[in-house]
Structure 1
Amino acid sequence: MTQRRVSLDDLGAWLIKGNAERVDLTARFRRDPQVTSWCVRPGYRARLMGPGQPVVFWASGSRGGCPYGVWGVGRVTAAPVVDADGGWSVPLDLTVLDEPDRVPRRRLRADPRLTGLEVLRQPQAANPSYLTVAQFAALHDHLPTT
């Protein structure tokens, strides 16, 4: 299956993933819920990322571990940067939600407006993934109001 080309015309938000099986994300975000940077794969999607664009944090892992799904929402603060080892990361202003406010995968799968999310269709795809404008609007119905 080939990945759909992302267009800025229909970009609702970027989606970055962290694997809760590889890193103890629960403990990390309990200590500090702020995310200021996250790794992304070099490519055309990363080159499209820019300041002010919305970003969603998705925690993944096994179904037996912590509940995974949308754990946070924020904004890209600058274009991705290349570190000394050649890896790319994107600067962010993102806050991980308190545990009761996180949106579990099962709830997103139950919403017909969100069943086509790339992260559900291709969970192993590299960062960044994305949500369309319509999908990001539908996600807002599941997020806490502020």
Structure 2
Amino acid sequence: MTDRLVHLGDLGAWLIKGNADRVDLTGRFARDPRVTSWCVRPGYRTRLMRAGQPVVFWASGSRGRLGYGVWGVGLVAGVAVPGEAGAAWTVPLDLTVLDEAHRVRRELFRADPRLAGAEVLRQPQAANPSFLTAAEFAALRERLPPP
């Protein structure tokens, strides 16, 4: 995925991605903004995920089609589990997708020098989960509505 290691001492939030060009995320979240699980790739990062850790949902896709970027915020609700034979691993979540007016668009995210080096911008094709450092998550929280 990347050679940058995640350390729990500097973990601000996990970041999971969904590609809005491949799946109708807009329609899905209009019907129900709650996200109770998402697919993740097994590995050391997935093994570090625990209930109560912050998690951010990042919508990706072709630039210009939608307001891609941070669409939701919540918490990890438990440890990741493998799917049935051949199926993806999933992590339980307690995450709500924000109203469109409260989402942090990729352009605003990238323009903030405290966020410009985030892994999601450096490695956009990396598998879930990605992460934000404690400093990056603090900077993002300044742009989000109060919980």
TM bucket normalised to smaller: over 0.9
Q: Hey, what's the Cα distance between the residues in 1 that align with 2:121 and 2:53?
A: 21
The more displaced of 33-42 and 79-88 is 79-88
TM-score norm. by structure 1 comes to 0.97
Cα drift, residue 67 of structure 1:
1.2
Equivalent in the alignment of 1:124: 125
CA distance in 2, matches of 1:51, 1:116: 26
Gaps spanning 5+ residues in structure 1: where? Answer: none
Q: Where do 5+ consecutive residues of structure 2 fail to align?
A: none
Q: State the identity as a percent.
A: 72
Counterpart Cα distance in 2 of 1:53 and 1:96: 17
Other-structure match for 1:115: 116
Residue 47 of structure 2 aligns to a residue whose secondary structure is helix
Query: Structure 1 residue 128: deviation in Å?
Result: 0.2
1:70-109 to structure 2, matched below 5 A, reads 70-86=70-86, 87-109=88-110
Structure 1 consecutive aligned stretches of length 4 or more whose deviation exceeds 6 Å: none
CA distance in 2, matches of 1:81, 1:128: 13
Which residue of structure 2 lines up, in the alignment, with residue 34 of structure 1? 34
Q: Distance in 1 between matches of 2:47 and 2:73?
A: 20
Q: Supply the RMSD in Å over aligned alpha carbons.
A: 1.1
Q: Give me the whole-angstrom Cα distance separating, in 2, the residues matched to 1:43 and 1:134.
A: 24
Kindly tell me the number of residue pairs found equivalent between the two proteins: 146
Given the two structures, how large is their TM-score scaled by the length of structure 2? 0.96
